[in-house]
Amino acid sequence: MPPALRDGTSAVMPGKIVQATPEAISEAARLLREGNLVAFPTETVYGLGGDATSETAVARIFAIKARPHFNPVIVHVPGIAEAEPLAELDERAREAARRFWPGALTLVLRRRADAGLSLLASAGLDTLALRAPAHPVAQQLLRATGKQIAAPSANRSGRVSPTTAAHVADELGDDVALILDGGGCIVGLESTVLDMTVTTPALLRPGGVSVEALTEVLGPIAAGESNSDTPRSPGQLVSHYAPRLALRMDAAAPRAGEALLAFGPCQPPSLTEMLNLSPRGNLTEAAANLFAMMRRLDRPEFTGIAVMPIPDTGLGRAINDRLRRAAAPRS
């Protein structure tokens, strides 16, 4: 149990970050079962979790994030066995889950009528997005809660996703019952969202599992519809993942006043603040650093953030997707 304070109340105060000890995970599970929201680490980004079977808990997720109600959330399960009663998995979907779960892949599947999940989680669609996260804290939390956990990224809608517990505290502060601290997220980008309800699996959001890796297991992957105002993966709005500052992609060098987000060994000489996503040009490292570095440069003393070109292969596609949306005109 968390240490008791002198007045007898728990040391776990609203909005407080706690180390994800077994005791804290039990406490988080209790809070979730009682309908509260808990932020927790996954290997991709931190999630804002709520009981996926509770319409009220899911409604609170939408309210706290100021998330548009047409944008469904991902439901997290420990693994394939727990996914089967919720949605229709064909052999192809099972193969994808066997290969990439637990991990950074979300499968959009036909929802079973008797799934028993909040309808709001699917935002009125007859499909369901399921993911089994690999982070041990997420796994332990799912098992301790004994329920499916609906969890979007733990940021306000449209903003940069959190990759540390401190990012969550900065952004959602007292709006969550508890923030479980499991350290920095190893992948650093959200999961890949793959629509398995169509003849050729369609990429709805590039993410932590690369298209190249998916193709090896599933064959051809169709490009999902990109930048539309009524996207099938409705979270993929044109402006998203946005820092406060304007972001400029494919920059050879920063302009006066801009901070620089560099990539690779050949960074330009710079008099301004500069962070390098990966000095050795490694895309996995760059993905893990992306959101944290965007946050660190998002300061009012700069006029914008210039980002050097990132190769558009493997995880680079997901990085460029996030950068394009961060650079898009805000509505």
Binding footprint of ligand TXA on the chain (CB under 6 A): 42, 44-45, 47, 71-74, 106, 108, 122, 125, 127-129, 131, 133, 151-153, 190-191, 193, 204-205, 232-236
For 243, the token pair is 């820092």
122 binds, among Mg ion, ligand TXA, none (CB under 5 to 8 A by kind): ligand TXA
Query: How many residues sit in the footprint of Mg ion (CB under 5 A)?
Result: 1
Contact flag: residue 145 with Mg ion (CB under 5 A): no
Q: How far is the CB of 161 from Mg ion (least distance, A)?
A: 5
Rg of the chain, C-alpha, whole Å: 20
Residue whose structure tokens are 């169509």: 198
48 versus 134: smaller Cβ distance to Mg ion: 48
CA distance 205 to 234: 10
- Contact between residue 231 and residue 225 where contact means Cβ atoms under 8 Å apart: yes
Residue 253's alpha-carbon distances to 178, 261, 264, 289, in angstroms, are: 42, 10, 13, 20
Residue whose structure tokens are 């050949």: 266
191 binds, among ligand TXA, Mg ion, none (CB under 5 to 8 A by kind): ligand TXA
DSSP string for residues in 208-245: SS-HHHHHHHHS--EEPP-S-SS-SSTT--SS-SB-SS
Contact flag: residue 236 with Mg ion (CB under 5 A): no
Choices 6-14, 122-130, 152-160, 307-315 (CB under 5 A): range interacting with Mg ion: 152-160
2 binds, among Mg ion, ligand TXA, none (CB under 5 to 8 A by kind): none
2 versus 234: smaller Cβ distance to ligand TXA: 234
- Contact between residue 231 and residue 108 where contact means Cβ atoms under 8 Å apart: no
Contact flag: residue 153 with Mg ion (CB under 5 A): yes
122 versus 145: smaller Cβ distance to ligand TXA: 122
CA distance 98 to 113: 24
Q: How far is the CB of 241 from ligand TXA (least distance, A)?
A: 10
What is the binding site for Mg ion (CB under 5 A)?
A: 153
